[in-house]
Amino acid sequence: MVKQRVAVLFGGRSGEHEVSVLSARSVMAALDPDRWEVVPLAIARDGTWLTPDATREGLEHGHAAFAGGLPPLESKAALAALASCDVAFPLVHGTFGEDGTLQGFLEIAGIPYAGAGVAASAVGMDKALMKALFREAGISTVLYSVIRSWDYALDEMDAALLIEQRLGYPCFVKPANGGSSVGITRVRSREDLGDAFASAFAYDDKAVVEQAVTVREIECSVLGNEYPEASLPGEIIPDRDFYDYDSKYAADSVTTLSIPADIPEGVAAEVRELAVRMYQVMGCEGYARVDFFLTPDDQVIANEVNTIPGFTSISMYPKLWEATGLGYSALLDRILELGFERAERRGLR
Residue by residue, DSSP assigns 11-40 as E-SSTTHHHHHHHHHHHHHHS-TTTEEEEE
Q: Is residue 58 part of a domain?
A: yes
The separation between CA 233 and the C-alpha centre of its own chain, rounded to angstroms, equals 17
Q: How many other C-beta atoms lie within 10 A of the C-beta of residue 132?
A: 15
Cβ–Cβ under 8 Å, residues 301 and 293: yes
Domain hosting 198: range is 144-211
Which residues, including other chains, have CB under 8 Å from residue 323's CB and lie 6 or more apart? 231, 232, 234, 259, 260
Residue 317, classed as helix, strand or coil, is helix
Do 290 and 175 lie in one domain? The reply is no
Q: How many other C-beta atoms lie within 10 A of the C-beta of residue 293?
A: 18
The CA-to-CA distance between both ends of the chain, in Å, stands at 19
- Domain boundary among the residues 159, 186, 211 is at 211
Q: Is residue 118 part of a domain?
A: no
Do 22 and 35 lie in one domain? The reply is yes
Q: How many other C-beta atoms lie within 10 A of the C-beta of residue 252?
A: 6
Predicted TM-score (pTM) of this structure: 0.90
- Domain boundary among the residues 162, 195, 211 is at 211
Do 136 and 149 lie in one domain? The reply is no
What CATH number has the domain bearing residue 155? Answer: 3.30.1490.20
Q: 135: which DSSP letter? A: H
Predicted local confidence at residue 240, as pLDDT = 53
Compute the distance between CA of residue 283 and CA of residue 124 in angstroms, rounded to an integer.
Answer: 10
Do 129 and 226 lie in one domain? The reply is yes
Q: 187: which DSSP letter? A: E
Q: Is residue 223 part of a domain?
A: yes
Compute the distance between CA of residue 96 and CA of residue 211 in angstroms, rounded to an integer.
Answer: 28
Q: Is residue 63 part of a domain?
A: yes
Do 253 and 328 lie in one domain? The reply is yes
Q: Which of 93, 148, 142 is nearest to 121 (CA)?
A: 93
Beta bridge partners of 144: 210
Compute the distance between CA of residue 150 and CA of residue 167 in angstroms, rounded to an integer.
Answer: 21
Number of domains in the chain: 3
Q: Is residue 133 part of a domain?
A: yes
Compute the distance between CA of residue 2 and CA of residue 37 in angstroms, rounded to an integer.
Answer: 10
Do 10 and 135 lie in one domain? The reply is no
What CATH number has the domain bearing residue 303? Answer: 3.30.470.20
What order do you get walking across the sheet with 36-43 strand by strand? 36-43, 4-11, 87-90
**Average pLDDT per block of 10 residues along the chain, 349 residues long:** 92 88 95 97 94 92 75 94 97 91 95 97 95 96 95 93 94 83 88 95 93 95 98 88 50 76 97 98 98 96 95 90 96 98 86
Compute the distance between CA of residue 309 and CA of residue 115 in angstroms, rounded to an integer.
Answer: 10
Do 197 and 340 lie in one domain? The reply is no
Do 200 and 338 lie in one domain? The reply is no
Which residues, including other chains, have CB under 8 Å from residue 91's CB and lie 6 or more apart? 8, 9, 10, 20, 23, 24, 27, 308, 311
Do 129 and 274 lie in one domain? The reply is yes
Compute the distance between CA of residue 91 and CA of residue 8 in angstroms, rounded to an integer.
Answer: 7
Compute the distance between CA of residue 44 and CA of residue 308 in angstroms, rounded to an integer.
Answer: 18
Do 262 and 159 lie in one domain? The reply is no
Do 238 and 329 lie in one domain? The reply is yes
Do 202 and 224 lie in one domain? The reply is no
Q: Which of 319, 174, 302 is nearest to 258 (CA)?
A: 319
Predicted local confidence at residue 243, as pLDDT = 47
Residue 302, classed as helix, strand or coil, is strand
Predicted local confidence at residue 182, as pLDDT = 75
